[in-house]
Amino acid sequence: GIVKISRFNYNTPKQFSEAVDSLIESGCENFVFDVRSNPGGNLDSVVAMLSYFLLEDDVILSTVDGNGNKEITRVKEITDLSGDLVDCNVSKEDIGKYRESISKMAVLCNGSSASAAELFTAALRDYDLATIVGTKTFGKGSMQTTFRLTPFGYAGALKMTTKMYFPPCGEGYDGIGIYPDDEYYIELSEEALKHSIYELPEVLDDQLKGALRSFEK
């Protein structure tokens, strides 16, 4: 099963779950999750999606603010999200639901995989659940907060970096990026790079071919 995740939006967990469930029902046992050129998105979204693979109380990420205050986000049931975030809730049944139903996994990434896409990649790597294939990711491990100016009588808002975040292993990748597994550092050919990553013919996709090879081991 090949699932392309172009961004971590509010409704991505629901779309992702529906796609994976459908592929499992059709007989897929091994999965490729493609986050190439995924710029990231909403933290609640990636937390929900990682909860499908991890176990209750597993560390998903940790954050540190400018004063050194640390906060750890763990896998848990989430039922209080509403409005746009309703699809980011996590039921008891959601937790770890793909841990046994998927045999092998690979994540495809590249230099434009950033932020939440890197956290998704790093978490599956840290728990030894997936082979990482492609090229080094962008390297964005900072978290932004939007402060609306309307309470002060102004239009608009300020978006400021307020925290740094770290994957389960605790090693930050901000300004560094995440490297694929040594054997699976694969660059696309010049011919392949003429195509958008979203329209790349499979015959030219050496990174996808590498992910499929990883399932043979």
Distance, CA of 186 to CA of 126 (rounded, Å):
20
Show Cβ contacts of residue 198 under 8 Å, excluding neighbours closer than 6 positions: 4, 6, 37
Options 115, 142, 163, 214, the catalytic residue = 115
SS3 of 108, please? strand
Options 34, 58, 126, 205, the catalytic residue = 126
- Burial tier of 192 (Cβ tally within 10 Å: 0-12, 13-18, 19+): middle
The answer to whether residues 5 and 35 touch, using CB atoms and an 8 Å cutoff, is yes
182 is catalytic: no
Distance, CA of 57 to CA of 96 (rounded, Å):
11
Options 45, 97, 140, 214, the catalytic residue = 140
The answer to whether residues 182 and 133 touch, using CB atoms and an 8 Å cutoff, is no
140 is catalytic: yes
58 is catalytic: no
The answer to whether residues 35 and 123 touch, using CB atoms and an 8 Å cutoff, is no
The answer to whether residues 108 and 34 touch, using CB atoms and an 8 Å cutoff, is yes
Distance, CA of 8 to CA of 195 (rounded, Å):
23
The answer to whether residues 77 and 1 touch, using CB atoms and an 8 Å cutoff, is no
- Catalytic residues, by residue number, are 115, 126, 140
